[in-house]
Structure 1
Amino acid sequence: MLSRELVRRVVTAIFFLFLFPFAALTAEAGMFDRIQDIYEAPERLEDMQSQLQEQQARLEEARKQAEELLSRQEQLQQSNEAYRRQNEELAAENEALLAEMEQAEAQRKSLYAKAGAIAGTVLAAIAVYAASVRVWRYMVWRRQGRDSHGAMHL
């Protein structure tokens, strides 16, 4: 849309540039002046043709510039779209990596909690075993002490 409006403005400007020399001509009265104008007409026609060719060349140059600007704008839009898509992909990948990292962190914490529970259970089992061995030895000592003590007194 912007390019059509730009081309329309350029064409309008060239049209006004083309008509500007005609606006400056003044009306001349008199037969002699008209005859002189008739003899000068081919010269004026050549001037007008050269001006027309110059203006056509300028118009063509302006059209080419407008086309170049349009193609450049399209390229920029395409690259912007590609960057936007890449940005969205990277954001999605980033979110996936964050979720994976959070899951790994949760697994690590769970592993540490399990390892702590296992270590506590093993230590408690060792403590219970040591205490039960002490109690058992004490009970054996007392029985043996009574038996041996009682056997001596008989």
Structure 2
Amino acid sequence: MQARHISAISHALGVLVIVIGFMFPVSAAHASWLDRVKEIYELPENMQQIQKDYEATKQQLEEQKDKLSETIRHSQETESKLLQQNETLQKENQLLQERLKTMEQVALDKEKRNRKITNMIIAAVLLVVLYFILGRVFRYVVWRRQKRHMR
């Protein structure tokens, strides 16, 4: 009787498992244990590929870092050269401005001197003309006096 009882219980359990299996179906197929073992053995190969990719990326990053450092150094050198050129050009500009001021002053002095010379020449010419005119007037006056005295 016990054997029947155990057999009935195992039958009931089997039916219960089948019913539950139909009520709650498995949503996705699971990989078998063989596939998991294969994945474990393939994992080092994947890790090696990931490691290679990491090293390549790291090397590219180092190269880019070196290029960036070189570019920064080059730009700093260029900036330094440009600042030196700017300083040199400012000094040259200042010298040229001083020369220009000196030349303008020389031109003004020359213009003043020329104006003085012109005024002196005009004054001399006017004095000569005035001398001749006064000489004629004086002769005329003397001639008139002599003519009056003669009468």
Verify same fold: TM over 0.5. yes
C-alpha deviation, 1:50, in angstroms:
2.1
Which residue matches 2:137? Answer: 131
Shifted more, 75-84 versus 38-47: the winner is 38-47
Q: TM-score, with normalisation over the residues of structure 1?
A: 0.61
Which residue matches 2:83? Answer: 77
C-alpha deviation, 1:74, in angstroms:
1.5
Unmatched segments (≥5 aa) in structure 1: 1-31, 147-154
Count of residues in Structure 1 that have an aligned counterpart in Structure 2: 114
Instruction: Extract structure 1 runs of 4+ deviating beyond 4 A.
Output: 32-44
1:120 corresponds to which of 110, 121, 126: 126
Using CA pairs under 8 Å that are at least 6 residues apart, name the structure with larger relative contact order, 1 or 2.
1
C-alpha deviation, 1:136, in angstroms:
2.7
What's the CA shift string for 1:68-97, capped at 9, x where partnerless?
A: 111221222122222212221221111111
- SS of 2:59's partner is helix
Q: TM-score, with normalisation over the residues of structure 2?
A: 0.62
Q: What pairs up with 1:1-154 in 2 under 5 angstroms?
A: 42-143=48-149, 145-146=150-151
Shifted more, 37-46 versus 85-94: the winner is 37-46
Backbone CA RMSD of aligned residues: 2.6
d(CA) in 2 for partners of 1:92 and 1:106? 21
Unmatched segments (≥5 aa) in structure 2: 1-36
